[in-house]
Amino acid sequence: MNEASVISIFPFPSEEYKPSIIPASFHIPGCENEDNPVIVNVPDAQTHEWLDITRGVRVYKIEAAELAKSIAMDKRNAMFGSNADKQAYPGITWLSHTVTPIELKTKYANILKTIKTEQLNWLKHLVFIADDDWARYHQHKFINDLQRYACDRLGLARDWNTVFENALIKCPACTSNVSADAIVCKTCRYVLNTDAYAKLTFAKG
C-alpha cells in the first residue's frame, strides 16, 4: 500500500471527511509551531460503485497522492479568506510520498517556505477583510474568530478586536454575543444579571 503526506502549519485542528471513500475521515492536528509542521500520512483508499444484481459492486482504487492532494486543496480553497490573487491560503499542502520532519526541513525547505508565506498572506487578508467590513458597518457581528486570531497573531491593534473583548460577552443560554452591561439577553431573553433584574420596576409584582 502506498502512502502520501499532508503537511500543515494551520494553527487549528481540523477533520476532513470524504463520505464516498474508505477510509473516509482524516484528522489533521493544529500546528503549534510553524517550524515544526504537522505531517499526516494518507494511505491508498477505495470507493465502490453498485453496478447491478448480476455484476455486484465494482471497487476503484484511489491513489494516496490523489487523496492527499484533495484533502489539502479542499482546506486551502474552502477556508474563509483564501484568495488566489493574493496567494493567501491556510498553510497546508501535500507530497505524493511520505516525508520525515528532517527531510521536510532540508530537502523540501522550499515547500515549507511557500506555505509559511501563503499563510502569512492569508492572515493579512483576513485582517484586510475585517478592516473593510468595520469601515462600512462598524458592527462586531461582521468580525469572526479567525479574523480576531489573525489580528492577534500579527500583533496588530484594531478597534474591532480589542473593543469586542471588552464590550461583549456570550449568553450562556443561546451563545449570542451581547453587551457586557446587558441584564437580559436580547436574543433568548435569558436573565444575565439576576440582581440587577430584581431591581427593575417591571420585575416586581
Taking residues 11-36, report their average pLDDT. Answer: 93
Q: What is the pLDDT of residues 143-190, one digit of tens each?
A: 999 999 999 999 999 999 975 455 678 888 888 788 888 898 888 888
Of residues 143, 163, 16, the one with CA closest to residue 90: 16
* pTM of the full structure: 0.76
> Quick one: cell of 78?
474552502
Strand locations in the chain (E): 3-8, 14-17, 21-22, 25-28, 38-43, 45-52, 56-62, 92-95, 168-170, 177-179
**Could you tell me if 194 and 117 lie in one domain?**
no
User: Given its phi and psi angles, is residue 93 left (phi above 0), alpha (psi -120 to 50 degrees) or beta?
Assistant: beta
What is the DSSP code (8-state) at residue 20? T
pLDDT at 73: 97
Q: What is the pLDDT of residues 68-98, one digit of tens each?
A: 999 999 999 999 999 999 999 999 999 999 9
Residue 148's domain comprises 143-203
Domain count, the chain: 2
**Could you tell me if 65 and 154 lie in one domain?**
no
Q: Quote the Cα angle for 98-8-114, to 5°.
A: 95
**Could you tell me if 10 and 65 lie in one domain?**
yes
> What's the first-to-final CA gap in the chain, in angstroms?
74
In-domain check, residue 30: yes
Judged on CB neighbours under 10 Å (0-12, 13-18, 19+), 20 is exposed
**Could you tell me if 166 and 105 lie in one domain?**
no
Q: What is the mean pLDDT of the chain?
A: 91
